[in-house]
Every structure is written in structure tokens, then in C-alpha cells.
A and B are shown apart, each in its own frame.
Chain A
Amino acid sequence: MTHQVFFEDVHAGDEIPQLRKNCSTQQLVQWAAASGDFYQIHYDRDFAQATGLKGLIVHGALKNAFLGQLLHDWIGEGGQIRRFGCSYRGMDEPGQDILCRGVVTKTYTLDGRHYVDLDIWTEKPDGKRTSPGTATVTLPGRA
């Protein structure tokens, strides 16, 4: 269970707790089975290289799901995800750290709901952002 974060405690510029991932090839196969995406570039090195890639790569949609977990873990059971998404601008490889990060860009209340907008992204060890995106969540208020 996660500690509950409240709307009043969140401000533009705040960074949310980071989530570090490092995919084994086993995890890529586990996720392939769970998602139904069996594209061979994620588990068959020869196939991947034949398509022009250097080697196996992490599924883009898995990185999107990691960003979902980043948000899920932060908002706690009192929060709700309204929307989130990212584009896949760079490739990540198995065995390499993928750092999932998010920064609050705006907080506002609309129709009694407390909204938080964020920039979210995955990052390689050298700091390059491979999956930049945005999200909107709602958080409970203290009142």
C-alpha cells in the first residue's frame, strides 16, 4: 500500500517519486504473453537484427505501462487516473536501467474535483528521455 498524497500538498514543479525498471528478457516475454504482443523484435535477437535494429528492444507499450505504474503508485488508493500517454522517441534495451519520472506542471479544481497535470517520461542512464508524455490525475483533498 502506498502513502496517500493529497491535493493540497502538491504544487507545480514538484517531482513525484521515481520508479526504476530494468527489464530482463524474461520480463519482456512475460509482458508479451500478458499483452498478446508477440512481435519478435522483443525476444528474437536474430529477427530484431534482420529488421535493422542493433538487438532486442523493450516494448514501447511496456514503457507506457511503467509510466502508468509510476502514476498509480503515487496517487494512492484515493486518486484516479484521468488520462496518460507518451510517445516513443528512443529505444531501450533489456538489462539497462529505465528511470520513470514525473513532474507536476499544473494544479486546479474543476467541478469540485482536484486535478493535477504532469509531464512524465522514461529516461536512459545518460539522461536521454525515450518516452516523453503527459498525464492528468485527480487527488483527494484534505477537507
Chain B
Amino acid sequence: MPDTETALQITDDMRAQIGVESEPWTYEVTTTSVRMYARGIGSEDPIHYDVDFAKQQGFRSIVAPLGYIGTPVYLPGSNDPTFGFPRRAGGPRLDIPFKGLLDGGTETEYFDVICAGDVLEETSHLADLKLREGARPMLFITNESVYKDKATGKVVVKQRLTSIHM
């Protein structure tokens, strides 16, 4: 029997938020955070751990494993306590009645290598909304983020993240 969750529609108000650019947020890449991420994926490549080795290979410092684009600066009350992402002004706000949440996909485009010591500035916007009807309807939300080197303004990474709400 359908419950209230199945009543979800993508409204004009929701669609109007597509493309609305967020305020920027700072992401930090440190030697400790790079090593933690490398441990998390189970890599033993010294390029992620040994600063001297990484410099001998021509890098500024140890290299961030692929998938790691820094850690958002955490300010109590300003970041999501479960996921850590910033709840900043200017970004899209969606009221989603679904309780279930899963990763839908990740696409990352690299324009430079990320190393410890880098400080990035990220902005994001809602890129797409899709509703899949069925016995258990699912809402697909895709956000696009651009990460720039805070010092130079150069684009380092573009990323699309899709989450599935059901």
C-alpha cells in the first residue's frame, strides 16, 4: 500500500534550485589526512606516506590518494554532523521525506595532482533531480562541485556526486 513517501513530486521550486551556486567552503589537505585516507583504502604506496620520497619523485609533498579531495573545515553548527559536508548559505535546500540514503555514483575529473599542504576552495550546485517511480520510489540527486587552489584560483578537480534517497 502506498505510504505518504510515495507522494513525493519534483516541484517547480525544487527544479528552480538546479544550478544555484553555493557559497565557497575551504577544504584542507594535510599530511595527517592524506596518510589517514591512504590507510583507509589499504594502500601501502610510500607516495602517500613518506614526504621525502614524494619530494624525490617531484611532488610538493605526499600525494592524496584518488578519491580524496581534502577535508571540509568543520565548524560546529555549520557542518552536517554525520557526513561532515558544509551546510552553507547560498546552496540548494531540499526537503526530502525519504529516510533511506545510498551513494549513487561518483565522477571525478582531475586537472592537477592534490598534495598535502594544499588548501582548496569548493563551490557546488544542484545539477540534476530524477524521480524513479516504483514499489519503492527513489529520488536521485546529483551535485556538481568545483575545487580550486585557494592561492592561485586554478581549478584542480571537478566532481559529480549522486545520492539516492528512498
Contact = CB atoms under 8 A, between A and B. Distances in A.
A35 to B, nearest CB: 7
Contact of B40 (A1, A33, A40): A33
B78 interface: no
Given A60-B103, A61-B103, A72-B66, A34 B37 contact: yes
B72 interface: yes
Contacts of B96: none
Which of the four size classes fits the interface of chain B? 35 or more
A36 B110 contact: no
Contacts of A21: 42
B83 A88 contact: no
Interface of B is mostly: mixed
Given A65-B68, A68-B66, A71-B66, A30 B107 contact: no
A39 B81 CA distance: 10
Given A34-B36, A60-B102, A85 B68 contact: no
Contact of B65 (A37, A72, A84, A88): A72
Which of the four size classes fits the interface of chain A? 35 or more
B3 interface: no
Contacts of B39: 30, 34
Can you list the 8 inter-chain pairs with the closest CB atoms, starting with the nearest? A68-B66, A60-B103, A85-B107, A36-B84, A65-B67, A31-B40, A87-B105, A34-B40
Given A33-B40, A61-B106, A68-B41, 13 more contacts: A1-B45, A36-B83, A36-B84, A37-B84, A38-B81, A39-B101, A65-B65, A68-B65, A69-B65, A77-B47, A80-B110, A87-B105, A87-B162
Interface of A: 1-2, 21, 27, 30-40, 51-52, 59-62, 64-66, 68-69, 71-73, 77, 80-88, 133
